[in-house]
């Protein structure tokens, strides 16, 4: 029995070999329910396992939904980019076909951008030259308009001078009659007429 008491003392987890083992055996030993208490679990392993089991399905579902949404956004963006690419290809084909039969493209050559750029630069320089010529023509036109107005004024003045001269050289018949009715002029006219040999 002494050996049995010794074993009970060893099972007491830190008990001594004194005689008070009977009292300790009766009510001071901890039960297995006390070992499940969270306060005694110094590593927190049970609590962590419970949290992982509770939150893992929600986290996984959230990640799956987030990845699905991200995939849908990427697919939408890819679709938009493909649409833009098709539009750009169509626009390039329109430009290509519009320049295909132009005279500035060498026969049998594809309308390379350098040909188009050179042609546009030539057109731009021609446009600038034509603008300069147009400005010069406008200035000449304005000078001609001023000269024409001066000539018209001179012609009007000359016409007026001619009319004045005609009026002086050919007096009107009313003025001639008035002169003949003047007694002094009539007397002088009669004397001159009588003095002329008949």
Which pLDDT value is given to residue 147?
Answer: 95
**pLDDT tens, residue order, the chain (198 aa):** 444 555 555 555 555 554 444 444 545 555 555 555 555 555 555 555 545 455 566 788 888 889 999 999 999 999 999 999 999 999 988 887 777 767 666 666 666 777 778 888 888 999 999 999 999 999 999 999 999 999 999 999 999 999 888 877 766 666 666 776 778 887 887 888 888 776
- How many angstroms separate the CA atoms of 138 and 144, rounded? 10
CA distances from 121 to 75, 114, 131, 133, 167 (A): 43, 10, 15, 18, 69
- Supply 92's token pair: 């390039």
pTM above 0.85, yes or no: no
**What is the token pair recorded at 103?**
């005279």
Q: Is 44 helix (H, G, I), strand (E, B) or coil?
A: coil
């Amino acid at each position: 029995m002494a050996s049995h008491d010794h074993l009970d003392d060893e099972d007491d987890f830190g008990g001594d070999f004194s005689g008070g083992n009977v009292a300790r055996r009766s009510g001071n030993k901890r039960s297995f329910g006390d070992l499940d208490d969270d306060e005694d679990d110094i590593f927190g392993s049970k609590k962590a396992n419970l949290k992982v089991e509770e939150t893992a399905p929600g986290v996984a579902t959230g990640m799956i939904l987030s990845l699905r949404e991200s995939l849908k956004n990427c697919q939408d963006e890819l679709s938009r980019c493909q649409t833009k690419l098709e539009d750009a290809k169509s626009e390039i084909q329109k430009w290509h076909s519009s320049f295909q039969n132009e005279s500035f493209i060498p026969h049998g050559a594809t309308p390379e951008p350098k040909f188009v750029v050179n042609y546009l630069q030539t057109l731009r320089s021609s446009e600038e030259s034509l603008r300069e010529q147009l400005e010069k023509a406008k200035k000449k036109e304005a000078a001609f308009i001023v000269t024409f107005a001066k000539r018209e004024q001179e012609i009007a003045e000359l016409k007026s001078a001619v009319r004045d001269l005609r009026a002086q050289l050919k007096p009107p018949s009313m003025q001639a009659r008035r002169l003949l009715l003047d007694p002094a002029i009539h007397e002088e006219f009669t004397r001159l007429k009588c003095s002329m040999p008949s």
